[in-house]
Structure 1
Amino acid sequence: MIRKTIVLLAGMLVTLTVYAAGAQLRANHPDSYTVRRGDTLWDISAKFLAKPWLWPEIWQANPQVRNPHLIYPGDVLNLSFINGPSLRLEPGVRRESEAVPAIPLSQLKMFLKDMRVMDSNAVSSAPYVVGLEENRLRGAVGQNLYVRGLQGEPGQRWAIVRPSHVFRGFDQNDPADADLVAHGLDSNAAMVNAPWREDSRNDGHYGKGDDLGVEVTVIGTAETLRTGDPATMLLLDSTREIRSGDRILPIDDSPYDAYYYPHAPKSLPADAKVIGFADALRAAGSRQVVLLSVGARDGVDNGTTFSIFEPGETIHDDVASNSANRSVGERVTLPDEYVGHVMVFRTFDRVSYGLVMDSLRPVHAGGRLTKPE
């Protein structure tokens, strides 16, 4: 069995020395650690690295490590202090299918089987279900669907999607929205009851501001039986009843990357924030998915890692002012509070999905993104 030695600090390569400066071992690191089933590379690195998101850069700096992701249950990570702190990997019996992942991707698929964020024009111009077999209101597996605007050949399979959220920026010129921006919220997420009909808040401010994209959820697949206008499709499977107005898009066979390499953003996009949640209403925690207001247009790619900070509250200074009347007097804004790390795992043009890797407190909409230092 080939012995793989992973050196964390000082010694072997110039690039390694550069990386090691930012990847100090924790003072309370264990002498050794045996990889267990259910571990992730992030969790393992967090046990002995002060900055766990640096693990792939360190391990890639060593040419003897063929793939920094292929770490397996039963492998023993030994820490020693010969010529500086180092880490040796003692491999055991292994099968590649059992390799420890960087992030728990299987957990994501339970509630993100396939969601996409697209330009609103692309969604509105996509082929759509205009009717169902026997003029039914809802379609079930095995029934025919009638679709307008579909191009393709018989036998071709398609994804059926339904818009779920519309992401928009607040209107900077509207006084009410300007107040929300001042409090750290620079975008909103409107639910979609039916195609292109958004829920409205009581003050009616949804629908204003810059269009960040439309989130669509894949709810089924169908196969073209006959072309034409409308075309006839056979519903193969679905997670919800299909209805008139659902859109038809090409199937994405590989919505997720096989591996993720955590890394800091090349540059920090302006006003990068948390703007929504995939499986929560008002807050998220570790191992939950959040939506970020930055995407490929901002230089963000899969693996980009941010720190999240909660905007500090503005409070009344009872000492400097009259504490009996808090409506007047001096106010002070508290410093932003560190919340945790988020790693991008799916990127679109103007927004991204990120997995909260660790958190000290709940993540709220408006949380500010910074470089993970």
Structure 2
Amino acid sequence: MRKSIISLVLLGSVFAAHARADELKLRENVPDQYVVVKGDTLWDISGRFLKQPWRWPEIWRLNKDEIKNPHWIYPGDVIMLDLSDGSPRLRLKRKGENIGNGMLKLKPQVRVEELYQFAVPTIAPSVIEPYLSQPLVVSESQLQAAPRIAQTEDGRVIVAEGENAYAVGIKDEESTGHWQIFRKGRPLYNPDSKDGKELLGYEAIYLGDARALKKDDKVTTLRITSTKQEVLINDRLVPATRQDVFNYVPHAPDFDLKGRVIANYGGVSIGGQYSIMIINKGLQDGLEIGHVVALYKQGRPIVKENPRDETIYTPSERNGLAFVFRVFDRVSYALVTNADRPIELNDEVRQP
């Protein structure tokens, strides 16, 4: 089976008028070209040319609209480094598109591909796949309004995979389809609030999946289709959804970001490269999927000679980068793409 895939890269527009060319730092012994292979990510490919791989939209000269809805490259494409105008840019090499001055003139074109051939993603899907379909954070109001499992077939407290359960709170228009089962987890507090106890939401502990079979009056019959943990009476339900972030291009927030790491996924106190962290900023603060944020270690108190001396701190030190892939109203989840030292609670989150 074959399908047409529109594959175009618009390279004529300037990514950011305020960005200077000398801000893009090429790697030493940078190659003149690179052939894309299956398994590559845009982050990986950029890392072959740039010291800051997440800034590949700039070297491709993409504008903000293209960042929001980018068009991709594919295995077999040849990426060329072009320095002809004095600043680095990447271009696609196509047959018959070389012109006299060595520049490449690109235009939209239709390509026919086999279905199994996919566009190169921003980051490896396997890294964050488990976190795209599961409920991660719920507010107090969402928790109270969520449908719940209220009874089992035989009156037991626990319901197992393959068994039926009965739920209340599901609306008529939602009485068919697939659901995810979750339980309220640990509270997430804002350390930057006055007392450090402002509630941002609760982690949602994912328990399994269910399918709605029928609804009689106010009770919906569910079939438990899979379980990750024990499912109990009073566990909550949320409609099953999946968020695809592989088409989001990394870019820096265009506002002054000052946040903190408030938790590492899984309850661990210390994270590292490819771990998942939770930030105390979300949609209400302007964060969006694709934002790249810098991580900073908090300053350490200077040792005093006299206990009465003023307490002063060492400067905050940059520690790594993270890619935001799930955003909620008050918090966001980000993948740590590189870390020089362990990521700890209360580490600072800023613009890169």
Deviations 1:236-295 (A, max 9, x none): 33222311111122221x3233411222212124x4111111246012222221111000
Stretches of structure 1 that go unaligned for 5 or more consecutive residues are 175-185, 187-208
| Residue number in structure 2 paired with 1:40 | 41
| Structure 1 segment 191-206 matched on structure 2, within 5 A | none
| Residue number in structure 2 paired with 1:192 | none
**CA-CA distance at 1:113 after TM superposition:** 4.3
Report the AA paired with residue 181 of structure 2.
I
CA contact (8 A) 1:225 1:234 kept: no
| Separation (CA, whole Å) in 2 of partners of 1:121 and 1:5 | 43
| Residue number in structure 2 paired with 1:193 | none
- Give me the CA root mean square deviation: 3.3
- 1:282 matches 2:260: no
- Secondary structure of the equivalent of 2:245? coil
- Secondary structure of the equivalent of 2:226? strand
Distance 1:223 1:105, change over 3 A: same
**CA-CA distance at 1:35 after TM superposition:** 2.9
Higher mean displacement: 298-307 or 30-39: 30-39
- 1:355 matches 2:335: yes
- 1:339 matches 2:326: no
- 1:226 matches 2:220: no
**CA-CA distance at 1:329 after TM superposition:** 5.7
| Separation (CA, whole Å) in 1 of partners of 2:33 and 2:45 | 11
| Residue number in structure 2 paired with 1:266 | 254
| Residue number in structure 2 paired with 1:211 | 199
User: Which of 151, 154, 157 is residue 178 of structure 2 equivalent to?
Assistant: 157
| Structure 1 segment 95-174 matched on structure 2, within 5 A | 97-110=117-130, 113-152=133-172, 155-169=176-190
Deviations 1:272-327 (A, max 9, x none): 1111112460122222211110000011111112111110111315xxx37xxxx6
| Separation (CA, whole Å) in 1 of partners of 2:192 and 2:18 | 44
Higher mean displacement: 157-166 or 237-246: 157-166
**CA-CA distance at 1:128 after TM superposition:** 1.0
Deviations 1:147-191 (A, max 9, x none): 2223226544332222223212359665xxxxxxxxxxx5xxxxx
| Structure 1 segment 231-270 matched on structure 2, within 5 A | 231-252=220-241, 254-269=242-257
Distance 1:231 1:336, change over 3 A: same
Deviations 1:55-78 (A, max 9, x none): 22443538xx99855223343333
Report the AA paired with residue 223 of structure 1.
A
Runs of 4+ aligned structure 1 residues displaced above 6 Å come to: 3-7
Stretches of structure 2 that go unaligned for 5 or more consecutive residues are 1-6, 96-110
Report the AA paired with residue 36 of structure 2.
V
**CA-CA distance at 1:338 after TM superposition:** 0.7
CA contact (8 A) 2:83 2:89 kept: yes
CA contact (8 A) 2:302 2:313 kept: yes
**CA-CA distance at 1:133 after TM superposition:** 1.4
| Separation (CA, whole Å) in 1 of partners of 2:310 and 2:179 | 60
CA contact (8 A) 2:70 2:247 kept: no
| Separation (CA, whole Å) in 2 of partners of 1:172 and 1:217 | 25
Deviations 1:167-221 (A, max 9, x none): 12359665xxxxxxxxxxx5xxxxxxxxxxxxxxxxxxxxxx2120122244212
Count of matched residue positions in the alignment of Structure 1 and Structure 2:
323
Could you tell me the TM-score, scaled by structure 2's length? Answer: 0.79
| Residue number in structure 1 paired with 2:26 | 26
CA contact (8 A) 2:132 2:326 kept: no
Report the AA paired with residue 88 of structure 1.
R
| Residue number in structure 2 paired with 1:73 | 75
- Secondary structure of the equivalent of 2:122? coil
Higher mean displacement: 75-84 or 125-134: 75-84
| Separation (CA, whole Å) in 2 of partners of 1:217 and 1:260 | 26
| Residue number in structure 1 paired with 2:108 | none
- Secondary structure of the equivalent of 1:122? helix
Report the AA paired with residue 239 of structure 1.
K
Could you tell me the TM-score, scaled by structure 1's length? Answer: 0.75
Distance 1:41 1:277, change over 3 A: same
| Separation (CA, whole Å) in 1 of partners of 2:218 and 2:70 | 52
Distance 1:119 1:61, change over 3 A: same
Report the AA paired with residue 154 of structure 2.
E
Distance 1:56 1:14, change over 3 A: closer
Identity %, equivalent residues: 32
Distance 1:69 1:46, change over 3 A: farther
CA contact (8 A) 1:286 1:359 kept: yes
**CA-CA distance at 1:351 after TM superposition:** 0.4
